[in-house]
Chain A
Amino acid sequence: MVDWGDSGVIQVEQLTKTYGTTTAIRDVSFQIGRGEIVGFLGPNGAGKSTTMRILAGAIGATSGEATIGGLDVVGKAREVKAMVGYLPEFPPLYADMTVRSYLTYAGQLKGAERPAQAADRILSRVGLSQVAHRLIDHLSLGFRQRVGIAQALVHSPKVLILDEPSRGLDPAQRVEIRALVKELAAGDVTVILSTHVLSEVEAICDRVLIIHEGQIVTKGRLDDLAGTQVSLTVAHPSDDLVNRLHKVEGVVAVQDREDGRYIISARSDIRPEVARAAIDAGLLELSGGMNLEAVYLEATAGT
């Protein structure tokens, strides 16, 4: 029976996938709750696509367990696939079909109730109405990507797995797709998306999973994880100040830029603590903000 409880619409336990002697992912575990948007980050080849392919049912895991809506993705593959929309890394498009006929076909495959009407509905929602009768072969990269996103949505899935959804999109199209994803999540659709665009994650994701060399190295809410890079200027620089800054909880690095200027990298927003530590040194200026990039680079250091 499908379980849409708040705790873990997607549950992944100790998932491992090996190709011959190569381990693509190892002991990957995480949970994603209903209506959450989770950003899946990591360098190329880290295992993002492999994890997403396993969740979507395209490939099987070597060991471990993954459930969606409480159903095992292998044991109850058909039921799981019916409620999952999946955009792979390379959109699965038939070049010889028109956009409308392709989406109707996708709707038939995915068990949409009225495939033709479902295709029409998604055409307008993803902004494809004006190219509905064009051959996919004749579409630009951006439109092709949108057709790929549309096929993932055609059967109104409860879970959306998007592998680099913004690939090939121009800035305006990216904003549109972000708005669409947020709207879907507001309607209780659970979303996991991978991307290399960190600003995209900051814009729409609630939580982040960072995978590196096949293992989850960092996970948590964006507010908790996103690091801070603070620029501090004081009138009386000293080693004592640097020591005090290092002692502030969450500080990762302190760079001395001379003339009383310091750049402080931290895992969380440490501006109040930095201000208190620097007040005796003659605080002149304190600026900066959240910076997911710092967290990402630290988590994936060594690549």
Chain B
Amino acid sequence: MKVTLAIAGRELKSRLNTSVGGVVLALFLFLAGFFWFLSLNNYVAQSQSLVMNPYAASMLTLGDYLILPWFSNCMFFVLLVAPALSMGSFTQEYQQHTLTLLLTSPVSTGQIVLGKYLGLMGFASLMLLGTLHVPATLYYVADPDFGYFFGGYLAMFALMSASLSLGLFVSASTQSQMVAFLATLVAGLSLYVLSWLNPDPAGWISQLALATHIEDLLSGALRLSDMAYFLGFTLVMLFGCQQKLEGLRWS
């Protein structure tokens, strides 16, 4: 485990030390902050328009009309920044010939992939921590339902996990960072909106879509099937990535 954590630490530090990591962090926090500002403005405007209608105003909950829309927007930011975070994970190792160092060390390919995944998730966690000012300020001025934030952050974390593992797999499959970024972005967005092809939520296409399970989490329903989906998705991608590395050894 020590060596896995060493690889994770190297991956995390390389994101913190390089401009890509800084730009990704800044972009995500700016977009999340900006859309929080817009959501808040929208909510205040709606509240003011319903000031003469107490019944309708009571229906305008913080959870459904402020927190959920913000988290829904954030999901797209996650899909946008995750490819930028993961694109260099293996492509840079190929370009700098540093994969040889990993492959000739007493470390399994599974440990290499897991270490990189944990490093990226560490960076993703820092990004999510950077948005905690949103619940903090809302709790300071109001009393929102905790479940919305819990579900929202769980959904963001789950989507980060799925997107970054997908990005790691793509990064291991190409030598070009640009190709890795674009392929991960397109694949991530496509998988997210897959349910648009078939509106039946019980259909297998909908069940494959990321959005279906994200919406479940955002609604506050903590289902085993949703957790199994994200865990399974991540494991399949990491396994694929590990197989890619093994394939390099034997090609």
B172: min CB distance to chain A, Å: 16
B14 within 8 A of A: yes
What residues of chain A lie closer than 8 Å to B107, measured between beta carbons?
A: 78, 81, 109
A250 within 8 A of B: no
**Is the Cβ of A92 less than 8 Å from the Cβ of B251?**
no
A204: min CB distance to chain B, Å: 23
In chain B, residues 1-25, which have Cβ atoms closer than 8 Å to a Cβ of chain A?
Answer: 2-3, 6-7, 10, 14, 17-18
**Is the Cβ of A59 less than 8 Å from the Cβ of B96?**
no
B251 nearest CB neighbor, chain A only: A19
**Is the Cβ of B104 less than 8 Å from the Cβ of A151?**
no
In chain A, residues 81-124, which have Cβ atoms closer than 8 Å to a Cβ of chain B?
Answer: 81-82, 84, 86, 88, 90-96, 105-106, 108-111
Max chain A C-beta neighbours (<10 A), residue from B10, B18, B100, B108: B100
In chain A, residues 54-91, which have Cβ atoms closer than 8 Å to a Cβ of chain B?
Answer: 56-60, 77-79, 81-82, 84, 86, 88, 90-91
**Is the Cβ of A58 less than 8 Å from the Cβ of B98?**
no
What residues of chain B lie closer than 8 Å to A108, measured between beta carbons?
A: 2-3, 6
For chain B, the count of residues having a C-beta within 8 Å of the partner chain is 25
What residues of chain A lie closer than 8 Å to B102, measured between beta carbons?
A: 109
**Is the Cβ of B96 less than 8 Å from the Cβ of A58?**
no
B227 within 8 A of A: no
**Is the Cβ of B108 less than 8 Å from the Cβ of A94?**
no
- Bound-state CA distance A105–B97 (Å) is 16
**Is the Cβ of A94 less than 8 Å from the Cβ of B96?**
yes
What residues of chain B lie closer than 8 Å to A58, measured between beta carbons?
A: 100, 103-104, 249
> Given A79, A81, A91, which contacts B104 in the complex, CB threshold below 8 Å?
A81
B102: min CB distance to chain A, Å: 7
A127: min CB distance to chain B, Å: 21
**Is the Cβ of B97 less than 8 Å from the Cβ of A81?**
no
**Is the Cβ of B96 less than 8 Å from the Cβ of A151?**
no
A109: min CB distance to chain B, Å: 4
- Bound-state CA distance A93–B97 (Å) is 7
B248: min CB distance to chain A, Å: 8
A60/B98 contact (C-beta < 8 A), A109-B107, A110-B105 known: no
> Given A56, A82, A92, which contacts B96 in the complex, CB threshold below 8 Å?
A92
In chain A, residues 195-238, which have Cβ atoms closer than 8 Å to a Cβ of chain B?
Answer: none
**Is the Cβ of A111 less than 8 Å from the Cβ of B251?**
no
What residues of chain A lie closer than 8 Å to B251, measured between beta carbons?
A: 19
**Is the Cβ of A60 less than 8 Å from the Cβ of B249?**
yes
- Bound-state CA distance A77–B107 (Å) is 9
What residues of chain A lie closer than 8 Å to B106, measured between beta carbons?
A: 77-79, 81-82, 109-111
B202 within 8 A of A: no
In chain B, residues 91-144, which have Cβ atoms closer than 8 Å to a Cβ of chain A?
Answer: 96-108
Max chain B C-beta neighbours (<10 A), residue from A58, A78, A90: A58
In chain B, residues 207-251, which have Cβ atoms closer than 8 Å to a Cβ of chain A?
Answer: 248-251
A60/B250 contact (C-beta < 8 A), A79-B106, A95-B96 known: yes
- Bound-state CA distance A86–B249 (Å) is 16
- Bound-state CA distance A48–B39 (Å) is 63
> Given B14, B17, B97, B101, which contacts A109 in the complex, CB threshold below 8 Å?
B101
What residues of chain B lie closer than 8 Å to A79, measured between beta carbons?
A: 106
B97: min CB distance to chain A, Å: 4
What residues of chain B lie closer than 8 Å to A94, measured between beta carbons?
A: 10, 14, 96, 98
B122: min CB distance to chain A, Å: 16
What residues of chain B lie closer than 8 Å to A92, measured between beta carbons?
A: 96-101
- Bound-state CA distance A60–B103 (Å) is 11
**Is the Cβ of B101 less than 8 Å from the Cβ of A106?**
yes
What residues of chain B lie closer than 8 Å to A111, measured between beta carbons?
A: 3, 105-106
What residues of chain A lie closer than 8 Å to B104, measured between beta carbons?
A: 56-58, 81, 84, 86, 88
B248 nearest CB neighbor, chain A only: A59
A101: min CB distance to chain B, Å: 8
Max chain A C-beta neighbours (<10 A), residue from B7, B98, B250: B98
A226: min CB distance to chain B, Å: 32
**Is the Cβ of A96 less than 8 Å from the Cβ of B249?**
no
Interface residues, chain A, CB within 8 Å of chain B? 19, 53, 56-60, 77-79, 81-82, 84, 86, 88, 90-96, 105-106, 108-111, 151
A-B contact pairs, 5 of them (CB 8 A): A59-B249, A81-B107, A88-B104, A93-B96, A109-B7
Q: A81-B107, A109-B102 are in contact. List 4 more A-B contacts (CB 8 A).
A: A58-B103, A94-B14, A94-B96, A111-B106
- 3 closest A-B pairs by CB: A92-B101, A109-B105, A108-B6
